Amino acid sequence: MRRAILATMAATLAGALAGCGETEDDAPAQPATEAAETTASPVAETSSPAPEATTASASPASVSPAEDLSISCREMDTEETEPSDLGSYESFEAAWEGFDARDDVRCEASYNSSFGSYDLTETEREALETANYDKEESLRVLYGICATPLLGDNSTRSGGLPWSEGQQEEVQGALVLCPDHPDRGEVEERIAEVNEAREPQEPDGSFGSGSYRVGEDMPPGFYVTESESGFDGCYWERLDAAGNIVENNLMRSGFRAEVDIAETDHSFFTDRCGTWEKQ
């Protein structure tokens, strides 16, 4: 009996010792694929999202001064203390309407934006060069001339502008911008008449309006001019070397004018007297 009990106790102790001998190292190895699936994190979860592409905003297209002008016109009246405002226009073509009904009009152009924001066209640059302008901002002066009747020579009271060299350059520059100005033909005729009168005359004893150097442009002597319809504002003057008037005359009527030009005279000026003939 005692032997049986001892045998049973020995078997129980052996079984307990066998259970304690199993460790985690003795557990079957996990397949590599399973280990990778359980330990590796997806790339998409760990990577930072790529930055979104940005598109640079395009700068607004530049415009020429002609596309951003304001033109204002006034009708001048010597009887009024203030000239009457004729309104504003977006272009010189719009200002041309009603020219026939206007006596003496002046138009000016201004820019709606700062001048540095404009892109000048080739035509505008040509106009500046023709007008002999140094500053590009002065282009507005030419646009104002384009809007004005007779390109600025519309003062009937004074008989038209004298058309100096500088004024002619301005008008020619304006005509580059507005070649279809309705008064172009008339203005060009006036300029041609002035330039013809200013051309040096051969000292052959006859000459028309203009300023002449005595002894070079014309010989001294006794001169006569006549008008069949009568003079209206015929003016002449003899000048010395200092520019002082030796003798002058203004004829508002009459049919015949006479003057004796001396050898000591420096120059002779005449206007609206027709053709002088040496006697």
User: Is the model's pLDDT at 205 over the cut of 90?
Assistant: no
pLDDT tens digits for range 52-104: 544 443 334 478 888 888 999 888 765 555 667 888 888 889 888 877 667 67
pLDDT tens digits for range 112-131: 888 878 889 999 999 999 99
What is the number of helices (H) and of strands (E) in the chain? 8, 11
- Cβ neighbors of 136 (< 8 A, separation 6 or more) are 115, 120, 128
Highest mean pLDDT among 120-134, 162-176, 199-213: 120-134
* Neighbour tally for 273: CB within 10 Å: 21
User: Is the model's pLDDT at 179 over the cut of 50?
Assistant: yes
pLDDT tens digits for range 228-240: 888 988 999 999 9
Alpha-carbon span 35 to 46, nearest angstrom: 19
Structure tokens at 177: 């911008």
Place of tokens 């069949």: 228
Name the residue with higher pLDDT: 134 or 60. 134
Place of tokens 């007008």: 131
What is the structure's pLDDT at 232? 87
pLDDT tens digits for range 11-29: 554 554 454 444 444 444 4
Under 8 Å between Cβ of 230 and 224: no
